Each structure stands twice: as structure tokens, then as C-alpha cells.
Amino acid sequence: MDAKANGTRWWHGATLYQVYVRSWRDTDADGYGDLPGVIAGLDYLQWLGIDGIWLSPTMPSPDQDWGYDVSDYLAVHPELGTLADMDKLIAEAGQRGIKVVLDLVPNHTSSAHAWFADARSGRDSVHRGYYVWADPVTGESEGGMGRRAGGGAPPNNWRDATGASAWTVDDASGQYYLHNFLPGQPDLNWWDPRVHEEFREIIRFWFDRGIAGFRIDVAHGLYKDAQFRDNPPLAGGTRLDGGFGLRPVYSSHQQETHAVYREWRKIADSYTPQRLLLGETWMGDLGKLASYYGQNDELDLAFNFPFVFAEFDAGALAGVVDRTLAALPAGASPVWMASNHDISRFPTRWAGGDERKARLALLILATLPGTTTFYYGDEIAMTDVAVPKELRKDPMTPGVAGGVGRDAERTPMQWDASPSAGFTAGGVTPWLPFGDNAARNVAAQREDPGSTLRLFRDLLALRRTAFAGQVAAYERLPAPPGVWSYRSGPLQVTANFTDHPMPLPGRVGEVLLRTSPGAEPGAAVGPWEGLVSKMP
Ligand code: GLC
């Protein structure tokens, strides 16, 4: 293992925690969580044993896509706080040994960004080239999605995240602009060197303020095919391979994108400590995912969606882990997670509300090598919340998760059993409805030594001691079908993914932790139980 890569990077062996800021804690009684709320929760995160937080977008935005439509990259969203709040958050987190990672959205801006306002003011405007423009197709278009008023069809068959054409006509110039997400999120044109320069400045601006890195939105997206070729049909495949019947091989995944990360990596590595580049790499092919690590000179970490969408099954999960570790360059750290703001929470998706399964999943996430990432609420096994249609807030609903949208996994943190869930002031309507906070909340679980929250905290303590800032060596151990057994650094994990007790495979050392409260020490691992022991 590359000595420089291992041990010197703060995310190796670390635990990250995603704070969806709007749903974490509301300190000004407007129904939205905010940065002072994140500061107020730092003692809790320190008690949990978190090494770093990734904040969902904090920059000014008209919120057509809840911050993923940025209108100013060098400021803080007024609903969430001020730049002074951000500075205070970075400082206060630092005092508690917690790093702060921000969300960066380089694939597109908001249509309200000053660059786009100028770009659409005319074909000769200074910023026109910052975005992707194309003339209408006037002849027969194979892939066009119907003609538009004024004549001419969209330039090709690319579709946006809702399934509509990814091209919207700009009436003033008669040209189309590209948006892989909503029309309010025009894609940037990475073929223009000025866009590179803008982002180098943005990155340095935040690194200089003391943030510890970026989670990079749609990291595989930046460049688009220069010839705008039609995307080919999707035959089979999963939601990671494409959507709406198409494989997005020309509208994203271009080779040129890698050079952007090589450039950013040099910037990130020039800081002390080195800053983290963590990509949202939404793809099913692990070889391709690994390519975003380059030769350890591109992204430091690339999110692993095949792991997220694997069945909750010993063979399926172990298989993804094996294939991931085989694909990554030597010295690279994998990164694991199971819930985020775009995906159904794992206590629902994997565990179907079964606490034993959720606890087993937490054990797996906490003992895999590399970096692990939790989503707020994972620690209390918070489940998805059924949000009635009239209260839904996700504009991407038509194209996402069969039309139900992503609100179910974005509801306010369940701090306590009070009517305001400890999230906001009494009587304030939260931006999204509360789940069953009386049944499941931080305050009650903190008091209960057998709770999932306390198990989570014990797991993180174990992880920290065992991994000590290293990417642990991983080895799959022989086990009967339905049981996943592995060595991760000094730890041996035995995870029973069946409804029956299973004999412990082979020898195990001293048992350090098991997920069933009050389990008898013995030669078996219970149904849906996980057990961590020392390597014999
Ligand atoms: C990413 C974000 C998602 C957002 C999209 C467009 O996938 O995680 O929330 O809607 O990018 O920015």
C-alpha cells in the first residue's frame, strides 16, 4: 500500500455523516433547519464519534432543486445563515475534532445565476460560452422529442431527470440550452477554459476558509459529447445504467472529465491537511467508478452506488465489496454508505422496518475498510416517512423513484418525542412533516443502553480504535451460505443474513460487540445478528 496515500489522509478509516441542513435543526423558527442549528448539534456529533460532516448544499439558490441549483458559489444561502455562521461552524466543529465538507455543484448552475442571466442576454454575451447551446434541428430528427413552436426540434434525444427533453428553447436567440436536470439547472460547458478557472477560484475560496473538502455533485457529468450524438437505447440495466430507455453515454461520462479532477486534486493536495474530493459517481460499473480515482491522482473517494442498491443479502453485498476492492487502485480508500437524500433510507429499503436488520446494516457499514458515510437519522434507524402528495416538495418527482419523489428521506431529524420533535419551536410547521418521532427519537435512545443509537456509538468507538486512521486490510473468510464473514484490520465480523441461528464459522477471538441486545455468549450467531470479535 502506498505509504503516502495511507495514514496521512484524514478520511482514511474515518466516519462521515451527512447533515441535510434543512432538516437537521431549526433555530429561527421558520420551519427550515439552518447553520446555527448545525452548530447546536455539534456536541451530539462529537458524542457520537463522527470525524466529519458533509453538509447538503449551503449556497444561495432559488431552491427549485433544494440548493442543487446554485445562484452564487461564494456565499451562504440566506435561509440557512451567513458566511459568519459558516466560519463559526468550521471553527466550532474543528474544536471538537470534526471536519466540515461542503457540497459543490459543478455540472450546472441555477438559471438565476448571474452567468446564465448574462449568457441568455444574447449570442455575443460574455458568458454565452459558459453554457451548452445548440441550434434546433430543422430536418428529420431521429431522436427529437417533438417539434416546438417557432420551428425546429431539440438537437438530440437526451432527456433530463424528469424524462422530458434535456433541451429548452431560449426564445430570444432561438437556440436550445442543455439541462440534464430541471430547466432551471442549465448545464455548464466544461469545454470553455473560463469555467475551469471559475471553479479553481471557487474551490480555493472555500478551502482557504478552512473546509476539509467537497462532495462533488454529479461528478461524472461535467463534459458532454462535443458532437451531441444521440444516446443509445438502454437494453436491460438498472437505474444506475440510465433512464427513460437511454444510456447516457454522450450526455455524461466523457473522458475529458478526468483531467478536471487531476487538476483539482493538485489543488486539494497542496493544502495541509489535504482536502477531500468525494464524488457522487452514479454508475453501475465498478471499473468505471474506480477510474475516477485515476492513479490516485483524481477523486480521493467515489461513492459506491452498486453497494447501495445491492440486495440486503450476504452474497450480494460481499460480492460488491470484493469487486470494489479489486477494482480500486492500490492505496485508494473505498467509501460506503446506504442512505442519502436521493435514496430511500436503508432501515426501510434494506430492513423493511426490522430493527435487527437495521442494526446489522450499521455493523457492516461501521466495520468495512476505508471511509464510511451515514445519513442523519441512520443512527436511530430512522425510516422513510410517507409524505402526503399535497405536502411534497421535490420538483424532480416525475422522474424519481417511480414518481414518489425524494421527500420521504428528507424529513426533519427526530430529536425527541415532543410535538415539534426537538427540530423547531413549538407551533411551527416544519417544511416537511415529522415521522413518528414519539416512537423513535434521539433523546429516548440516548437513555437506553440497548438502543440502536447506543449500538451505533459503540460501533464507531470500536471502528476508531481498530482502524486508527488507516484503510484496514480486508479479507473475506469462509462462511456458510447466508453468512458473511470477513476480517477488517484487527476485527473479525460475522454477519448472519438469515432467519435462523447459524454456527460461528471456524474460530473467533474475544467477542467485542454483537447487535442483539442481551444475546447469550455462545457458539451461534442469531437470526439477522452481527458479531464483531478479535481475530483469533
Ligand atoms: C445529485 C443530487 C441530487 C440533485 C441532482 C442535481 O444527484 O444528489 O439531489 O437533484 O444531483 O443536482
- Of 84-93, 233-242, 345-354, give the lowest mean pLDDT range: 233-242
Q: Is the CB of 70 under 6 A from ligand 1?
A: no
Under the banding of pLDDT at 50, 70 and 90, the label for residue 404 is confident
Which residues are 343's β-sheet partners? Answer: 340
The pLDDT score that the predictor gives to residue 6 is: 40
Residue 154 Cα to ligand 1 midpoint, Å, equals: 24
What is the 8-class DSSP label of residue 153?
B
Confidence of residue 237 (pLDDT cuts 50, 70, 90): confident
CA pair distance 64, 69, nearest whole angstrom: 7
Stretch 182-203: mean pLDDT:
98
Band (pLDDT 50/70/90 cuts) for residue 519 is low
Q: What are phi and psi of 525, to 5 degrees?
A: -115, 130
Indicate if ligand 1 lies below 6 Å from the C-beta of 105: yes
**Residue 65, ligand 1, Cβ within 6 A:** yes
DSSP secondary structure, 176-207, as one string: EEE-SS-TTSPBB-TTSHHHHHHHHHHHHHHH
Mark 7-29 as b/e (b = at least 16 C-beta within 10 Å): eebbbbbbbbbbbbbbbbbbbbe
- Report the nearest-CA residue for atom 9 of ligand 1: 342
Give me the pLDDT at residue 507, please: 84
Residue 121: CB atoms within 10 Å: 14
**Of 257, 199, 513, which is closest to residue 525 (Cα–Cα)?**
513
pTM score > 0.85 for this model? yes
Mutation test of ligand 1: which of 111, 160, 218, 283 has the most ligand atoms closer than 8 Å to its C-beta? Answer: 218
Ligand 1 and 182: CB distance under 6 A = no
Instruction: Give the Å distance between the CA of 133 and the centre of ligand 1.
Output: 22
- Residue 178 dihedral angles phi and psi, to the nearest 5°: -95, 140
For ligand 1, the distance from its centroid to the CA atom of residue 487, given in whole angstroms, is 35
Residue 330's pLDDT is: 94
Q: Give tens-digit pLDDT for 305-335.
A: 999 999 999 999 999 999 999 999 999 999 9
Residue 41: which of 79, 76, 86, 93 has the closest Cα?
A: 93
Is pLDDT above 50 for 141? no
User: What whole-number distance in Å separates Cα of residue 99 and Cα of residue 96?
Assistant: 9
Atom of ligand 1 nearest to the CA of 340: 8
Owner of C-alpha cell 460506503:
336
| Separation of CA 280 and ligand 1 centre (Å) | 9
Exposed / middle / buried, residue 404 (Cβ in 10 Å: 0-12, 13-18, 19+): middle
Q: Is the pLDDT of residue 128 over 90?
A: yes
Question: What is the Cα 142 distance to its own chain's centre?
Answer: 36
**C-alpha Rg value of the chain to the nearest Å:** 23
pLDDT of 408 above 60: yes
Positions annotated as catalytic residues are: 217, 280
What is the pLDDT of the chain when averaged over all its residues? 94
Q: Which atom of ligand 1 is nearest to the CA of 69?
A: 12
Look at residue 139 in the predicted model and tell me its pLDDT.
63
pLDDT, tens digit (0-9, with 9 covering 90-100), for 271-297: 999 999 999 999 999 999 999 999 999
- Residues of the chain above pLDDT 70, percent: 94
Per-residue pLDDT, 2? 41
Express as a percent the part of the chain with pLDDT over 90.
88
Separation of CA 66 and ligand 1 centre (Å): 9
180 CA closest ligand 1 atom index: 6
Q: What confidence score (pLDDT) does residue 329 get?
A: 96
Contact status, residue 498 vs residue 520, Cβ threshold 8 Å: no
Nearest CA to ligand 1 atom 12: 68
Asked if residue 342 has its Cβ within 6 Å of ligand 1, the reply is: yes
Nearest Cα residue to atom 6 of ligand 1: 68
pLDDT in tens, 80-126: 999 999 999 999 999 999 999 999 999 999 999 999 999 999 999 99
Write out pLDDT tens, residues 161-186: 989 999 999 999 999 999 999 999 99
Pairing label, strands 276-279, 301-302: parallel
CA of 523 to the centre of ligand 1 (A): 46
Mean pLDDT of 426-452: 98
> Span 27-41, mean pLDDT?
98
Note the pLDDT of residue 1: 38
Average pLDDT for 138-163:
71
* pLDDT score at 239: 87
Residue to mutate (ligand 1; options 68, 73, 104, 409; most atoms within 8 A of CB): 68
Tell me how crowded residue 454 is: count the other CB atoms within 10 A of its CB: 16
